């Protein structure tokens, strides 16, 4: 029986319904989370009008407050992003910027609102950059209060200067599948554990 919920924010530059490698890897993470008793959902950030800024609500037409509510309702956040020029995609950085406002939001016990939630990162690219993108995103999510489970990232990139995409592969390489499964297993365990034993108040 599922007792956890996970939300994947897919930061592909390409709107639905175009194919997306970061969506595919996010789905693989979510499938693995379902195997761990998690109800999952996802959205592509580019399909929504997430306005530039660092307030919780940037006003008329801003889609972020609705997305933020879904993050607040979830136990696990999966941030899935392509790599462009070696960096997290602009939409992943946009998500991070919008989460910045929550650095100063606290619950009734005085804890940052994202405390107790677990985040994992899923990164895809043609050729290089996964560790760096993972580092950038894990640090930012951790700063805002998410806990990062052991080996809390999964990724695929091709050989240097190649142009194959994750969704061009005939099958997921075994090590990548094991890494995805491990990140999901650890995330679910940690979310369950932190739910039973929340971080103490300051």
Site for a second copy in 97-136 (CB under 8 A): 97, 99-100, 112, 114-116, 127-132, 134-136
Residue 17 as a binder of a second copy (CB under 8 A): the answer is no
| Contact in structure between 125 and 83 (CB atoms under 8 Å) | yes
**Whole-number minimum distance, CB 1 to a second copy, in Å?**
17
Nearest to 191 by CA among 27, 33, 65, 43: 33
Residue 173 as a binder of a second copy (CB under 8 A): the answer is yes
Q: How far apart are CA 44 and CA 16, in angstroms?
A: 7
Task: Determine the size of the site formed for a second copy (CB under 8 A).
Answer: 74
Residue choice 1, 61, 160, 171 for contact with a second copy (CB under 8 A): 160
- Pinpoint the alpha helices (H) of 35-101: 64-73, 90-99
Q: Which residues of 34-71 are buried (b: 16+ CB within 10 A; e: fewer)?
A: bebebebebbbbbebebbebeebebeeebbbeebbeeb
**Whole-number minimum distance, CB 40 to a second copy, in Å?**
19
Q: How far apart are CA 12 and CA 91, in angstroms?
A: 7
Residue 53 as a binder of a second copy (CB under 8 A): the answer is yes
**Whole-number minimum distance, CB 74 to a second copy, in Å?**
15
Site for a second copy in 57-96 (CB under 8 A): 84-91, 93-94, 96
**Whole-number minimum distance, CB 152 to a second copy, in Å?**
6
**Whole-number minimum distance, CB 31 to a second copy, in Å?**
16
């Amino acid at each position: 029986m599922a007792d956890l919920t996970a939300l994947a924010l897919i930061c592909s530059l390409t709107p639905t319904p175009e194919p997306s490698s970061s969506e595919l890897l996010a789905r693989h993470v979510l499938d693995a989370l379902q195997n761990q008793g998690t109800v999952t959902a996802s959205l592509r950030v580019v399909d929504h009008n997430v306005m530039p800024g660092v307030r919780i609500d940037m006003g008329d037409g801003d889609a972020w407050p609705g997305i933020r509510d879904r993050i607040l309702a979830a136990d696990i956040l999966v941030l899935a992003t392509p790599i462009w020029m070696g960096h997290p995609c602009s939409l992943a950085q946009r998500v991070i910027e919008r989460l910045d406002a929550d650095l100063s939001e606290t619950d009734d016990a005085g804890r940052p609102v994202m405390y107790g939630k677990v985040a994992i990162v899923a990164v895809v690219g043609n050729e290089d950059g996964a560790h760096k993108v993972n580092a950038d995103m894990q640090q930012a999510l951790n700063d805002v209060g998410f806990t990062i489970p052991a080996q809390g990232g999964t990724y695929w990139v091709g050989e240097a200067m190649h142009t194959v995409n994750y969704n061009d592969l005939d099958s997921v390489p075994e090590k990548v599948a094991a890494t995805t499964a491990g990140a999901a297993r650890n995330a679910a365990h940690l979310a369950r554990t932190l739910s039973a034993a929340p971080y103490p108040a300051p």
